Structures are given as structure tokens and as C-alpha cells.
């Protein structure tokens, strides 16, 4: 089956009990046992639930993975992957990652004895230089939040594997529709399913996908032991969102291209960051390893924080809010929102300035969105 068909059908056969063509919400905790030590099928919904299993099978199919695990949030998925590490282990991470991931690295796992090094993710040789004998994991996010730097997945996977390390790739921004890192050599793929996979800003979730049986078993054990599982209602909402992932991503990207091109041609804007623009320094890499350029557009206003305030107050369709990936368009100020936990010096070092804004371009009419950007820029420039 091809992508759009798998999104609707994989893991979602007719319900055997009723014949329902939609996977039911199995709102249950317990299941009967046939005998001592012999569950009829499922045994306890922290360990597994039929609605969750359908979501996991569908996500695995879309990411070209053997195994999928759904979590209660994207950060729960990140934590589950980090559970593979032990005190004394070392992680090499691209320096451009979500602020919440950085916080978990430095505030939770570093005090437990795991060490982290951060490198320029756009330079594969930087990963090679940072690897140590105790390096167990290489962590990348591509495209990266919020400045949309890309990592050459195939090159970094080869570097990690040559030194006995695993590669984990956060694929949230691209979604499996535009990028499948496991096929390019990654060992683990993560998602905040809150974003494009669910797609409607109404459910929190995460996922871990892999082809490695040992990784799957270890992460599944940790999930069951720690209990960061999504409820069946959340899984059902994510499954519903998946059914339209292909059509949504096509429209998201079409709209984002128009916004990026409009902003790039506007002298009121200092810089536009979007992998689909030929001006993006990794445009050729994006064409090679992605099937599309995504729907996040970041840009800089020359007037800094004061101009940002004017812009967000003037915008009408681009709502000022956290998160991304829903059908509605949002504008985020990374310095005070997604990366607010970083110090000013850390933000400056990786290029997140006060004048930086991140657009999550929705699927509204593109002309309306462009008009909104135009009038917001006009208001902010006064």
C-alpha cells in the first residue's frame, strides 16, 4: 500500500466484535483471562490497549518501521529513548533541538550521570569529532526547531554506526509524509504526535518507531514500568488525524511555500528560513532526503522584541500560541516560548534572537494568510 492508503487502513481493519469500519475506543482497564497466566488477548491497558495498538501499527507502517509505541506526550517518548542510557554514557546531539528536549537532557539526565555534547548539526564531521568511546547515542532533529537547520541523516548514521552508537531522529517537523529517517539509517524515530500526526490541536501524544527488536523491547519495558501511556480516547483522536495526514501535509506545504516566498520578497523582513527556498543553505539536502519541505516558516524582524510585539498584536489569522502542526495557522516567539528555558547566551549562540518568529502555516486559504502577514508587517513597521 502507498502512504495515503496506509494512513487510512494500516492497523485499522474492521472491528471483529461488531464489524465497525472505524477502530472503537476501547475504554477499558481490564480484560478477561482464560486461565491462570493465560490472558485471552490483552491483559491490562497500561501494558496494551486495542485502540492504542491500532495507532502504533499505523504509525509503524507510515515510518517504514517494524515496531511502534505510542506515548502520552512527545516528551514522554524522548524520556523513554533516554531510558536506554546508563550513568557514564555519553550523547552527541545537534545543538539545534527543541528547548524541552534540551531541558530534559541537562536538568534530568545530566544529574543522573549521562553527559551531553552539542555540535553543529549541519556539519556531519562535527559529530565524528565529538564521539567518544562511551558515546551510546547520537541525537538529531531535522528540520530543527525553530530555525529549520537540516541534518544529513544518512551521513550521520554512518558516522554513529562506525563507532558503535545509535542514531535517534526527531521527525516531528517533517512528519512521515515528507521524511522517513529509518530508511536513511536512523535506529530510532520520535514524534510529538501532538503536531502534524494528530493535526487538530486537540490531543497530546508521542511515538517511538524502530526496526531494532532489542530497542523496541527495552523501550516497551520502560513504558510499561513507568506508565507514560496515552489513553484510548487520545489514541482514537490521533488515528482520526492520521487518516487525513497526506492531504493535510500537501496543503500545509503549498501554503507554507507561498508564505515563505512572500516574506522572502518583502524588504520589511530581515531573513526568511525555509528549506523550500533556494536561498536556504541546505536546500539541496532537503531535496535529496525529503519528499517535501514542510510547513514551518521562520523569519526575523529587524526591530527585535518591540517589533515582534507589534506584529503579534496586529496578526488576526496567525494566532499567537505555543505548539504547531494544527490546521490553524500559529505564530510563535521561540525566545520566550519553545526555547524560553535556554539562557540568553545559549539562544544567541544558536541564533534564536529576539526578532525571530516561527510560523506554523495552517490550511486556511493562502490568500487570506498572505494578506494577514502583509497587514501585520505594515502595523509592526510603524
Q: Which residues of the chain have pLDDT under 50?
A: none
Active site residue ranges: 46, 98, 170, 195
Write down the H helix ranges in the chain: 3-9, 50-62, 74-82, 99-103, 124-130, 153-162, 175-178, 213-226, 232-242, 245-264, 283-289, 304-314, 344-349, 366-380
What pLDDT shows up at residue 254?
98
What pLDDT shows up at residue 382?
58
* Domain 3-242 identical in fold to domain 246-380: no
For 303-314, write each residue's pLDDT tens digit. 999 999 999 999
What pLDDT shows up at residue 38?
86
Which CATH code fits 246-380? 3.90.1150.10
pTM: 0.96
Question: For the chain, which residues make up each domain, given as ranges?
Answer: 3-242, 246-380
What pLDDT shows up at residue 348?
83
What pLDDT shows up at residue 77?
98
Which architecture, in CATH terms, is 3-242? 3-Layer(aba) Sandwich (3.40)
Q: Grid coordinates standing for 162?
A: 562506525
Amino acid at each position: 500500500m502507498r502512504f495515503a492508503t496506509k494512513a487510512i487502513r494500516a492497523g485499522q481493519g474492521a472491528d471483529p466484535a461488531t464489524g465497525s469500519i472505524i477502530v472503537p475506543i476501547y475504554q477499558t482497564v481490564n480484560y478477561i483471562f482464560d486461565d491462570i497466566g493465560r490472558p485471552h488477548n490483552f491483559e491490562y491497558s497500561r501494558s496494551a490497549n486495542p485502540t492504542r495498538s491500532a495507532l502504533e501499527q499505523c504509525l509503524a507502517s507510515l515510518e517504514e518501521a517494524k515496531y511502534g509505541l505510542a506515548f502520552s506526550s512527545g516528551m514522554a517518548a524522548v524520556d523513554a529513548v533516554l531510558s536506554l542510557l546508563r550513568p557514564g554514557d555519553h550523547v552527541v546531539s545537534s545543538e539545534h533541538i527543541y528547548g524541552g528536549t534540551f531541558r530534559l537532557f541537562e536538568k534530568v539526565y545530566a544529574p543522573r550521570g549521562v553527559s551531553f555534547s552539542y555540535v553543529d548539526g549541519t556539519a556531519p564531521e562535527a559529530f565524528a569529532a565529538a564521539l567518544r568511546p562511551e558515546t551510546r547515542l547520537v541525537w538529531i532533529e531535522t528540520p530543527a526547531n525553530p530555525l529549520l537547520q537540516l541534518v544529513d541523516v544518512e551521513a550521520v548514521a554512518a558516522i554513529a554506526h562506525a563507532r558503535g552508537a545509535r542514531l535517534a531522529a526527531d521527525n516531528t517537523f517533517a512528519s512521515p509524509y515528507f521524511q522517513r529517517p529509518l530508511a536513511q539509517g536512523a535506529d530510532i524515530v520520535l514524534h510529538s504526535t501532538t503536531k502534524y500526526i494528530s493535526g487538530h490541536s486537540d490531543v497530546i501524544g508521542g511515538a517511538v518507531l524502530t526496526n531494532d527488536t532489542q530497542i523496541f523491547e527495552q523501550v516497551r519495558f520502560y513504558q510499561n514500568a513507568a506508565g507514560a501511556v496515552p489513553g484510548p480516547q487520545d489514541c482514537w483522536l490521533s488515528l482520526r488525524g492520521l487518516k487525513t495526514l497526506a492531504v493535510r501535509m500537501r496543503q500545509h506545504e503549498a501554503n507554507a511555500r507561498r508564505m515563505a516566498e512572500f516574506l522572502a520578497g518583502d524588504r520589511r523582513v530581515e531573513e526568511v528560513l525555509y528549506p523550500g527556498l533556494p536561498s536556504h543553505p541546505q536546500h539541496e539536502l532537503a531535496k535529496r532526503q525529503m519528499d517535501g519541505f514542510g510547513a514551518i516558516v521562520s523569519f526575523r524582524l529587524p526591530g527585535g522584541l518591540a517589533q515582534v510585539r507589534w506584529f503579534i498584536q496586529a496578526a488576526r489569522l496567525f494566532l499567537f500560541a505555543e505548539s504547531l502542526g494544527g490546521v490553524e495557522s500559529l505564530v510563535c516567539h521561540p525566545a520566550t516560548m519553545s526555547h524560553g528555558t535556554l539562557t540568553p547566551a545559549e539562544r544567541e549562540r544558536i541564533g534564536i534572537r529576539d526578532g525571530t518568529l516561527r510560523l506554523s502555516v495552517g490550511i486556511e486559504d493562502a490568500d487570506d494568510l498572505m494578506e494577514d502577514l502583509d497587514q501585520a508587517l505594515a502595523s509592526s513597521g510603524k
